[in-house]
Structure 1
Amino acid sequence: MIRLPDASGALRPHEPRSEPALPTPQGSPPTSRIVFSAAHVVADPFADTTPDGPAAVDWDATLAFRRHLWSHGLGVAEAMDTAQRGMGLDWAGAAELIRRSGAEARSVGGRVACGVGTDQLHAPPGLEGVLTLDAVRKAYEEQLAVVEETGSQAILMASRALAATARGPEDYAELYGHLLRQATEPVILHWLGPMFDPALRGYWGSEDLDRATHTFLDIIAAHPDKVDGVKVSLLDAEREVALRRRLPEGVRCYTGDDFHYPELIAGDDQGFSHALLGIFDPLGPVAADAVRTLDTGDVAGFRARLDPTVPLSRHLFQAPTRFYKTGVVFLAWLAGHQAHFTMVGGLQSARSLPHLARAYELADGLGLFPDPGLAESRMRQLLATYGVEA
C-alpha cells in the first residue's frame, strides 16, 4: 500500500497492482485505422543547461522509446508539440531529432511523420509583428526541406509567427497554398487550438471557429492532391465530426482530440477519424491493441478496451492543457522507459505533486506499467523528495 496526496495535503491509500495488463508487441500496424503516437523526447539529465538554454536530449533513450512504439505497430509523429516544440526544444534540437528519428525509422521499417514549423524565427516579446510573411514562408521551407530529405512525411504545424503576422484569411491561403504546391508528397495539415498553445488564437484568420473552418477547408479543397489528411486538435468532438464530413474524397481526418478519441476513432455510419495523439505516447500498447480489435469489426470490444483510458487522458490534458507533456514524461519514467524524471527546459516542475500522484493512480489502475513494483518504487522516490512519507 502507498499513500498518495490530494490537493488538500491529505494522504489517501492506494493498493498498487501486482501485474501489468499490457499486450505483447505485434510489429505490424493496425489495418483499419492509421495510428500515430506523438512521442516525447528524453532530456539529458547530466547536461549543464538552463530552462532558457539550448535543448539537451538523451538520444539513445529517445530513440529507444520510438522503437518501443514501432514494435507495437504504431506510427511516430515526430517533433510535434508532445516533443516540446516551442516549450524547450528549439529548432536545432528538433532538426536533429527529425534526422535521427528518420534514420531509425528506415532501419526498423517504422512509419514516421515529422512536424514542420517556423520556430527558428525569433522576435522580442511584444514585437512579433516585425516578422514578415516572407520570413515565415522561408522558415517553413527550411523545415520542410529537412523533413523531406529524411524521406519522412511532413506535418505542416500551426505557426506562432504566422498567427502574429497574418492580416487575415487571405494570408493563410496564400502561404499554405505556396507550401502545398512545392511539397514533394502529400502532407498532414495540423490545426492546433489555443488550449494547446495560446499564441495560436485566431488561427486561419479568425477567432470565429466557423469562419476559421471555412478558410481551412478552402485551402484543402484548392490542393486536395497535396493533403494526405488533417489533424484537428480543438477538443471539440462535434466540430471535428462536422469538419470530417466536409473533407474532400481521399483526405483523411486524424483526431488530435485527447478527450474524445475512442468515439472519434470508432466513427459512425458516415465515417471515422484516424489518430495522431499525444495520449498515445503512454497508451501506445493499449491503443494499438484496441485498434486491432477494431480491425476485426468489433466496435464494442474496441470501446471496452479504450474507453477506460479516457479519465487518465482528461487528467493529463486538463487546463492548462499545454503542460500535458509533464504527465506524459512522468508516466514514461514510472514505466521504465527512461531512468529519470527530467525534462527539456525543466518542465518537470509544471505540474503539482497531487496531479502527478493522481496520474500514477489512474495509470496503475489501467495496468499500464510493465513493472508495477518499479513504478511504485519511483513514485515513492518522488513523494520522498517532496517530504511525503508514503
Structure 2
Amino acid sequence: MSKGTKLILFLIIWLGVSRIGFPQAGDPEVRPNSSPYLLLDKGLQYRITKSINSMYNFDFATAERDFAVIMYQYPTHPLPDFLMALGYWWRIEVDVTNTRFDDIFIRYLDRANEKSERMLKEDPKNKEAAFFLAAGYGFQGRLYSERKSWTKAAFAGKNALKYMDMSRGEEEFNPELLLGDALFNYFSVWIPENYPLLKPVLALFPKGNKALGLQQLETVASNAFYTRVEAQYFLFRLYASEEKRPYDALRISEYLHNKFPNNPYFHRSYARHLYTVGRWSESVNQSQEILNRIDQKQYGYEANSGRYAAFYLAEYSYRTGDRAEAKKYYQKTIAYGEESVSQESGYYLHALIQLGKMATEEKNKAQARKYFDTVKKYAKRKHPAHKEARDFIKKNKL
C-alpha cells in the first residue's frame, strides 16, 4: 500500500477514533441528567472523571477498579468495556511497536461493539450505540493500520464512518462530534496539498476547509466535555509538525504534562517541544527525569521514551562542547533505538551520524565506517541521512 493510500486510511480511522473522549476534573458544572443515554448521564460523568484522569495519568489499577464497578452496574452497556479498551490503547500509544497488549485491547473493543450492536438491534435509532460503534471500529482500524493489516484496517475504517453518520442528529452529542468534523476538514485539504496524485480520491469526499478544521479543533480542545484531551493530543501534534507553531505545541504539551505528570507520552512530548523552542536547560531537566524514571522502572517509561530523552541530552551536550557526554548519550540513543526496534527513526540515524563524525575526529576510521554503514543499512536511499552518510564516506575516504 502506498504512503498516500495509507494517509487516506488514517483519515478514515481518525474520523472514527475522534468520536469519543472523556471528562476531566475542573470541567463544567454537573447538572441533573435528562438524557436517556448513559454516556450523557451527568451523575455518571461526575463519578467517571477521577477514574479517567487516573487512566490518562497511567494509574491503570485505580482506573480499572472503577471501570469494573461500572461494568457490574451496567453489564449490557458498551461503556465499561470501551473504557477498559481505552486504557490498553494508551499502553500501546507509548510504543506502538510493542504488540503485547493488542489481543486484550481488541477483545474489549469486540465486547463493546457486540453490546452496541445488540442495543442497535433493539432500537435502530439509538444514537449512543452508533456513537460507540464509530469509536470502537475507529480504534480497531488505527491499531490494524499500525500492524499493516490493511484489509482489517480498511474494513474497520469503513464501519467507523458508517456508524459515525448514524450517530449524528443528537443535539447533546454535537460538541463532541465537532472533533470528527475538525479532523475531516483539516486532512481532506492537507492530503491533496501534500499528495497531489490523490486529488481524484479526495474528490469523492465533501470539500474540506483546513483553516476551519484547525479552528474547530481549537474549539473542542478548549470547550468540549468529552473529547477535550483527545483534541489536545491531535492539536499539539499538528502545531508541532504541520502548522509550524512550536510555541503553541509547547503550551498544550506543558498543560497535559502538568495535568498528567506520569503519562510518558505527554512527558516526552513536553521535553521535545522545550528542545524545539530552544529552552534547552528545561528540556535537559525533563529528559534526565525521563531516563531516571526508566532506571527506576516506573510503569510506562521504556526504551521509546528513552530514545527521545537520550537524544535531547546528547544534542545539548554536543552544542555545549561536552563531547564525552554527547558520545555517551548518542550511544544511549542507539541502544534505546535498537531495544524499541526504531532503527529507521530520525533520532537513531542522526545519532549514528554524529557518532561517526566524532569517531572520524578521533582518527578511528574503522569505527566511523561502521556507524555510517549502519545508517545506510537502515535509512532508505532517498532519506537525507543516507545521502549524508554516503557523502561523508566519500569525502573522508572511509
- TM-score, with normalisation over the residues of structure 1? 0.31
- TM-score, with normalisation over the residues of structure 2? 0.30
Question: Greater relative contact order: 1 or 2 (C-alpha under 8 angstroms, separation 6 or more)?
Answer: 1
Mark the structure with the bigger radius of gyration. 2
Greater share of residues in helix: 2
